[in-house]
Amino acid sequence: MGNYDALLVLSFGGPEGPEDVLPFLENVVHGRGVPRERLLQVAEHYQGFGGVSPINRQNRDLVEALRPIAGVPVYWGNRNWHPFGEDTVRQMRADGVRKAAVFATSAFAGYSSCRQYYEDIARIRVEDGPELVKMRHFGDHPGFVAAMADHTRAALERLGRDDARLVFTAHSIPASMAETAGPSGGLYEAQLRRSAELVSQALGRTEPWDLVWQSRSGPPQVPWLEPDVCDFLNKTDAGSVVLVPIGFVSDHMEVVYDLDTEARQVAAELGLPMERAATAGTHPRFVRMVRELMDEPEPVPCPLTCCPPPRRHA
């Protein structure tokens, strides 16, 4: 055990109102060469939901669920919007925190999903502030698997089709970034496939499943992981599908728009019965998993050469 005296939930962040949307998105894509047209398109997605990302409510709910079991004070900070991580760490220093476990709300390897959280931790440290220790990847943890299996089972029951095809989804990333994920490369996709297999096994299923991608945002000339979920739905011969957002731990905008709106519309146009499984969210087993990670031996940080930043494209 790491002898922590606090827990920091470190997340992505999201807008809390219409006026927050563009400043938030500009924080997200800073230096990435994302076309302005794509930024405005994504802004419209947020405005369709009142300019509020559901990720904030889900993070607040997770923090509240953790407080009774964490055994230490629980804090919350974000990379891209209020409460910013640096403000939270200053508050932790004022509260006398000396060493905090950091739970990043991303389960897998990769630059955006892991390395960038290490960069966040380095950036938000303050003089005489607490030591910040990022906890390990958790896509194969029994708590995460159990939560996703329960939510997938519920989606199958809502659909009323035990034979529905399970289609696991995760955020697409540039192919070059996928190739360099992890110490030997390819770890992002490998971990996702392992998690999908574990969830399928937990459901007692022997049928094939698929892993597809969503939410790409880069320049069109840059190869990203494929197939896109909507392209997959247009081509599948499955009689019904359950989308399982294995790559996300909460129902934020990429889930409620890209899956619940766009993918659902495609399925409806095809006459394809579809349900979407919930993300891990505040499932009791997932919440307990966070506490269990705190009790594990302190993880060894990834090498600095692991998951390098993506190459920038004009």
Residue positions in the annotated binding site for Fe-coproporphyrin III? 53, 117
Give the span between the Cα atoms of 290 and 300, in whole angstroms. 17
Largest Cα span, the chain: 60
Give the number of other Cβ atoms within 10 Å of residue 219's Cβ: 14
Which whole-number Å values give the CA distances from 215 to 70, 168, 235, in the listed order?
A: 33, 14, 18
Burial classification of residue 54, based on how many CB atoms lie within 10 Å of its CB (0-12 exposed, 13-18 middle, 19 or more buried): middle
Rg of the chain's alpha carbons, rounded to an integer? 19
**Bridge partners for 101 per DSSP:** 7, 133
The three-state secondary structure class of 41 is helix
The secondary structure of 157-195 as a DSSP string is: HHHT-TTPEEEEEEE--BHHHHHTSSTTS-HHHHHHHHH
| Known binding-site positions for Fe(2+) | 171, 254
The binding site comprises 53, 117, 171, 254
CA torsion, points 35, 38, 44, 45, in degrees to nearest 10? -140
